[in-house]
Amino acid sequence: EVNLVESGGGLVQPGGSLRLSCTASGFTIGDYWMSWVRQAPGKGLEWVANIKQDSSEKYYVDSVKGRFIISRDNAKNSLYLQMNSLRVDDTSVYYCVRIRYFGVPSQDVWGQGTTVTVS
Amino acid sequence: DIQMTQSPSSLSASVGDRVTIACRATQNIANYLNWYQKKPGEAPRLLIYAASRLQSGVPSRFSGSGSGTFFTLTISSLQPGDSATYYCQQTIGDLVWTFGQGTKVEIQ
């Protein structure tokens, strides 16, 4: 069964740092672009970042550029999100997501999410 | 950046009703449009990709259409389990993607 499991969320003070991890099972992340998506309390979904299979390309939403770093370790079948200079408005559930290309890219496998609270 | 606007923001309908949600892009995105279903406490679920292609395992009462700047998601016969928030998403923008603000569907 294809699965993604996030970890590393928690409570952190404004200005602090946190590192999220995501471990995949049932497939090889090295074959896929991967991404992070978040949802703040009572708000909609927000795409955060994408990373190519070999880490040669990374893309971020403007609000996290310069503060967040997406990375991966294909040997460990894992994805990461290093979050620095955290702000109250970064409070969200963060989802690790697989990107699939069937003509157009879509996000077909989602983890259950890990909660980050900045307060 | 490409902005996505959904309408309505919320709706209430009865079991068996036909429901349509609209999504408009600020520029031409061809068919780079996906639809997701999000229920509280659950992970989002891909319903439709490439504007009109049904994701494997998704009931056939869900369908998508459109291209360019205007898209729709239709539920042909609303079921109790379809109560959720639905999001469109564009994936053409140089790997910088955006979701619509969501449409909350409630069952009367």
Q: What is the pLDDT of residues A84-111, one digit of tens each?
A: 999 999 999 999 999 999 889 999 999 9
Q: What is the pLDDT of residues A48-65, one digit of tens each?
A: 999 999 999 999 999 999
DSSP string, chain A: --EEEEE--EEE-TT--EEEEEEEESS-GGGS-EEEEEE-TTS-EEEEEEE-TTSS-EEE-GGGTTTEEEEEEGGGTEEEEEE-S--GGG-EEEEEEEEEEESEEEEEEE---EEEEE-
Place of tokens 């009572």: A42
- Which among B43, B87, B89 has the least Cβ separation from residue A95? B43
Q: Output the CA torsion sign for A108, A111, A114, A115.
A: positive
Predicted confidence (pLDDT) at residue B4 exceeds the cutoff of 70: yes
Distance from CA of A45 to the nearest CA of B (A): 6
Q: What residues of chain B lie within 8 A of the CB of A59, using their CB?
A: 94-96
CB contact under 8 A, A44 and B34: no
**Percent of chain A's residues with pLDDT above 90:** 97
Mean pLDDT of chain A: 97
Predicted confidence (pLDDT) at residue B102 exceeds the cutoff of 80: yes
Place of tokens 């309908």: B13
Between B84 and A101, the higher pLDDT residue: B84
- Which among B32, B36, B38 has the least Cβ separation from residue A104? B32
Q: What is the pLDDT of residues B44-61, one digit of tens each?
A: 999 999 999 999 999 999
Q: Identify the pLDDT of residue B94.
A: 65
Predicted confidence (pLDDT) at residue B96 exceeds the cutoff of 90: no
Distance from CA of B37 to the nearest CA of A (A): 11
- Which among A100, A105, A110 has the least Cβ separation from residue B44? A110
Instruction: Give the H or E element holding residue B37.
Output: strand B33-38
